[in-house]
Amino acid sequence: MRIMGLDYGSKTVGVAVSDPLLITAQGIEIIRRKEENKLRRTLARIEELIVEYEVSEIVLGYPKNMNDTIGDRARLSEEFREKLERRTGLPVRLWDERLTTVAAQQAMIEAGVRREQRKEHVDKIAAALILQGYLDYRAHKETE
């Protein structure tokens, strides 16, 4: 079984999955939608990916404010979490995603990705960073 990482945004959802050994995260795609509240197709695509990759758990990026408070984006993520749990029946864990988009942008700059192309990949890379952070936490917790 694998774990799926999601970076939920207003018009996109970056998707990543772990390897079967739960060691590494790989970004797999970005699900795009025209309107923020139109989630039916987004949820259906996530369900397809869950089946395809044999996912048993979901980690959803939780965009807390830098001062550790909960803002509008975090509340929307909480609502999305509830929809995901109802629709998939899988546990959905919220994972602090502060600065993951910045880290994704920086990684692409360092890799020499052109500015025009960065927008095409940033959400997928952010999802992989969210998931990798969770996988590293789990691995560290198990060794304690």
53 pLDDT tier (thresholds 50, 70, 90): very high
How far apart are the C-alpha atoms of 127 and 107, rounded to whole Å? 13
Higher per-residue pLDDT: 144 or 129: 129
Query: What's the pLDDT score for residue 108?
Result: 66
pTM score of the predicted model: 0.87
Residue 65: per-residue pLDDT: 72
Mind listing the domains of the chain with CATH numbers? Answer: 2-143 (3.30.420.140)
pLDDT given at position 83: 95
| Residue 60 pLDDT exceeds 90 | yes
- Give pLDDT tens digits for 96-141: 886 676 666 777 677 777 777 767 777 888 899 999 999 998 888 7
What's the confidence (pLDDT) of residue 102?
65
Provide the Cα torsion 94, 99, 100, 102; round to 10°. 160
Please give the sequence-ordered ranges of beta strands (E in DSSP) within 40-120, or none if there are none.
55-62, 92-96
Helix axes 100-110 and 115-143, enclosed angle (nearest 10): 120
**Mean pLDDT score across all residues of the chain:** 88
Mean pLDDT of 57-70: 87
The more confidently predicted of residues 144 and 59 is 59
| Integer Cα distance of 138 and 135 in angstroms | 5
Query: What pLDDT sits at residue 24?
Result: 96
| Per-residue CA distances from 81 to 21, 32, 33, 102, 112 (Å) | 25, 18, 17, 23, 34
**pLDDT value at position 23?**
95
Residue 6 to residue 74: CA distance in whole angstroms: 13
Higher pLDDT pick, 137 / 54: 54
Helix residue ranges, H only, 89-114:
100-110
